[in-house]
Structure 1
Amino acid sequence: MHYRRDYTPGATYFFTVVTFGRRKLFNHPDKIAQLRLAFSDEMARRPFHIDAIVIMPDHLHTIWTLPTDDLDYSIRWRNIKRSFTTTVPQEQRPVVLGSRQRKNEQAIWQRRFWEHRIRDENDFNQHVDYIHYNPVKHGVALRPVDWPYSSIHRYIRNELISPDWGSNPINLSDKIGHE
């Protein structure tokens, strides 16, 4: 059975993108800066809005809203991944074997990504909470606000969320990220 992606023009999507072999590529501020540059370059070419994001050491979660007449998030991900990949020195790239070698692919990212079209405001809010709580879930921060690579700081600045949100355990839906 083949997975069919949901391509709806102007929709809002939750994505999970993972590094190849769960390598901790985003564990240094320089790598985060390079990833942010890849995002901003692609946003300049093909606009989209980042509603929420968290960059973890070996993966990221984000919510994007596409322009009204646009449905092509796949090309955006391809370009972001490609742009970031060019910043990884050759000696830091794993040896590529098998089908990746035949297809001239690098072992920086998992080939695919997870996407879920946001259905309504409740779905949106649950996914934003999942994104912002992810550093606590994975044990890299005691509180969501302690993780520097998260849109929670923008949400706090804009008074959309309290600075102490997530300081106590949050009960998240088991279905998020597994839809």
Structure 2
Amino acid sequence: MSTKYKTSNPEGIYFLSMATVEWVDVFTRREYCEIVVASLRFCIERKGLILHAWVIMPNHLHLIASAAENKELTSILRDFKKFTATQLLTAIQENPAESRKRWMQWIFQSNGARNSQNRHHQFWQQSNHPQELDSNYLMSQKLDYLHQNPVKTGLVEEPAHWRYSSATDYAGGKGLLSLVFLE
């Protein structure tokens, strides 16, 4: 059995990537990003998620995270993805300003129909591609990659200017979520 994409070390810190199916640009609207932020906050406060860094991009998000003692990161992420998928699908359906509604619903529904693990819709791609950050070099590399992502894609000029990121925290400001900084 492959261990390449598994959170096999319960005490490990992991770089995680979660993408929408077919890389649909859902997170171009603030209200959808706020659902993700609220869910991350809930996971931090109630489920034992330890968040070290994060960024929401238009069609994916990256986290550097670990789990509190006696908690499983895999379970936290499973619950996070299930909850946010339901909330986001509902928000898309109920958003009168969503001009891409029918197109997005068709993509989520057709992906769900092809996946035996879903009943109706699939919002997130299956894997989180966890990579354990077991050295200072890897931590620094992934932290830089995560924070530079909005800059490299042309969304902002400086990492700290991206609202949906921990770059503000690492630059000395106060961001949207509570973090445990990487050392």
- When the two structures are superposed, what TM-score results if normalisation uses the length of structure 1? 0.77
Matched, 1:58 2:73: no
Q: Does 1:143 align with 2:154?
A: no
1:62-103 Cα deviation digits (max 9, x unpaired): 101222444x22211111111111222274433235432674
CA distance in 1, matches of 2:140, 2:117: 42
Q: Deviations over 1:117-148 (max 9, x none)?
A: 01122211111111100112222222222221
- Per-residue CA shift, 1:12-34, capped at 9, x if unaligned? 11101101110111111111111
In 1, Cα distance between the equivalents of 2:117 and 2:132? 33
Matches within 5 A, 1:26-175: 26-70=27-71, 72-87=72-87, 88-89=89-90, 91=93, 92=101, 93-94=105-106, 95-96=109-110, 98-100=113-115, 103-157=118-172
Determine if contact 1:11/1:68 at 8 Å carries over to the other structure.
Answer: no
% same residue: 23
CA distance in 1, matches of 2:18, 2:61: 5
Deviations 1:15-55, CA, capped at 9 Å, x for gaps? 01101110111111111111111112223332121111110
Count the aligned residue pairs.
158
CA distance in structure 2 between the partners assigned to 1:11 and 1:102 by the alignment? 28
Q: Mark the runs of 5 or more structure 1 residues left unpaired by the alignment.
A: 160-179
Q: Is the 8 A contact 2:44 2:51 kept in 1?
A: no
Query: TM-score, structure 2 length as denominator?
Result: 0.76
Q: What is the aligned-residue RMSD (CA, Å)? A: 2.3
Equivalent runs, 1:7-22 vs 2, <5 Å: 7-22=8-23
Instruction: List runs of 5+ in structure 2 lacking aligned partners.
Output: 94-100, 175-183
What SS does the corresponding residue of 2:171 show, helix, strand or coil? helix
Is the helix fraction higher in 1 or 2?
A: 2
Q: Is the 8 A contact 2:21 2:122 kept in 1?
A: yes
1:147/1:7 CA distance change after superposition, 3 Å: same
